[in-house]
Amino acid sequence: MKQLSNQLQEWDRLRTLAYQHYKRGEFEEYLNFSKENLKLARMLGDRDRTREGHALNDVGLAYISCQQYQNALNFFHQALFIAQEIRNKQAEATTRSNLGSTFSHLGQLTQALEQFERSLPLFRQVGDLQGEISALNNLALLYTKLNEPKRALLLHHQILSMRRLLNDFSGEAVTLNSIGFTYSALGQPEQALSFFQQSLPIQRAVKNRGAEATTLNNIASMYVQLGRPQEALLLYHQVLLNCQTTGDRAGEATALHNLAFTYSILGNQGQALEFYERAIALYQQLCDRAGEVTALLNIGSIYAAQKQKNMAKSLYMNAQNLVRQINHQPLAKKVQQLLDAL
């Protein structure tokens, strides 16, 4: 019994240690400790296999942090099998949510939607309100990506009420950002800017630098839409520095992409192409196919505007080949429209 007790304490210790590395952004260490914890969970062979399921999910999340999404899928599928085998609805809901996030990262939006829709009733059945809010938020973001922004907006306002009821200030800032993003998709930049600006002081108050960078990015994007590109450039450079300082590579790629787009609007195509190339290099490292496709289309549009149709067509074709690897219908449609316009 004492040996078992020691092993259980070691399992808890390793899991806590792994999470500490995650919070510091030390994702390789997070992955290594999560793998060690999985080995220990399997050695313990606890009767209901709950720890093994937790450990499999932890490894999957660590792989997401390292941008290794296919590896993450493998571990989440193993965790889902165990959750269903032991009939643990909470574990199944959490794992399906993780699967949905991974499919979304890969641009496989139909599969992501299925997983989020199946996780939502499970969270409700077990009375997990935070899980329910998370599932609703994931669905709303996905509806925006699938060109259903009005549907997304209804969900986001529902979530905002739930967050405020719980006094969840960090969550409220996330939802205000999401509402802004949806208004942007609806072509209402002034409304979007208002919600982004409401989100920013909350993120600064809770000292969430990553979320603050995201919001600044969003505010700058609205400045571009509202014809204020010079103000946008100042913010984007601030965001880029912030992301580089905190090691947020996904945020860095987005900032580079946005800088490129803004320089293009200002007519500085040389600077624009330089930033696009840097963004693409990062997107490739992160396996962000959707980001890479969008950058290729934007570069193609620069060459198309300069009447270099062969160069533009080559870039659009490269983008089309990438789109075929992911289930992302809005992007596929955009690629075809640009090819048809040449």
Counts for the chain of helices (H) and strands (E), in that order: 17, 0
Q: Residue 298's pLDDT is what? A: 96
Average pLDDT over residues 179-199: 94
pLDDT tens for 211-243 read 888 899 999 999 999 999 999 999 999 999 988
| Residue partners of 73: CB distance under 8 A and separation at least 6 | 60, 99, 102, 103
Burial code of 126-139, b = ≥16 C-beta within 10 A, e = fewer? eebeebbbbbbbbb
pLDDT band at 194 (very low <50, low <70, confident <90, very high): very high
| Residue partners of 190: CB distance under 8 A and separation at least 6 | 222, 226
Average pLDDT over residues 234-253: 90
pLDDT band at 327 (very low <50, low <70, confident <90, very high): low
CB-count burial class (<10 Å; 0-12, 13-18, 19+) for 314: middle
Of residues 342 and 122, more confidently modeled: 122
Residue 3 has pLDDT above 80, yes or no: no
Q: Residue 189's pLDDT is what? A: 95
Q: Residue 247's pLDDT is what? A: 84
Superfamily of domain 1-122: Tetratricopeptide repeat domain (1.25.40.10)
Q: Residue 79's pLDDT is what? A: 96
CATH of segment(s) 128-223: 1.25.40.10
Cα four-point dihedral sign 43, 49, 53, 58: negative
Percent of the residues in the chain that have a pLDDT greater than 70, as a whole number: 96
Q: Residue 44's pLDDT is what? A: 79
Residue 203 has pLDDT above 60, yes or no: yes
Q: Residue 10's pLDDT is what? A: 79
Residue listed under structure tokens 């934007």: 298
**Where exactly are the structural domains of the chain?**
1-122, 128-223, 294-342
Q: Residue 290's pLDDT is what? A: 85
CB 198 within 8 A of CB 160: no
pLDDT band at 2 (very low <50, low <70, confident <90, very high): low
Cα dihedral 41, 42, 46, 51 in deg (nearest 10): 40
Q: Residue 249's pLDDT is what? A: 85
Amino acid in the structure at residue 164: R
Spatial separation of the C-alpha atoms in residues 134 and 141, rounded to whole Å: 11
Residue 26 has pLDDT above 70, yes or no: yes
- What region does 26 belong to: left with phi over 0, alpha with psi -120 to 50, or beta? beta
User: Rounded to an integer, what is the distance from CA 132 to the centroid of its chain?
Assistant: 18
Could you tell me which of 339, 327, 309, 314 has the C-alpha nearest to residue 108? 327
CB 163 within 8 A of CB 155: no
Q: Residue 90's pLDDT is what? A: 96
Q: Residue 246's pLDDT is what? A: 84
Spatial separation of the C-alpha atoms in residues 177 and 230, rounded to whole Å: 22
CB 132 within 8 A of CB 117: no
The model carries a pTM of 0.71
**For all residues of the chain together, what is the average pLDDT?**
90
Q: Residue 47's pLDDT is what? A: 56
Spatial separation of the C-alpha atoms in residues 88 and 70, rounded to whole Å: 25
Average pLDDT over residues 244-272: 92
pLDDT tens for 42-80 read 887 765 688 899 999 999 999 888 778 889 999 999 999
Residue 93 has pLDDT above 90, yes or no: yes
Amino acid in the structure at residue 193: L
| Same topology between domain 1-122 and domain 128-223 | yes
pLDDT band at 178 (very low <50, low <70, confident <90, very high): very high
Q: Residue 37's pLDDT is what? A: 87
Spatial separation of the C-alpha atoms in residues 60 and 71, rounded to whole Å: 7
Percent of the residues in the chain that have a pLDDT greater than 90, as a whole number: 64
Of residues 197 and 147, more confidently modeled: 197
Q: Residue 267's pLDDT is what? A: 93
Q: Residue 25's pLDDT is what? A: 66
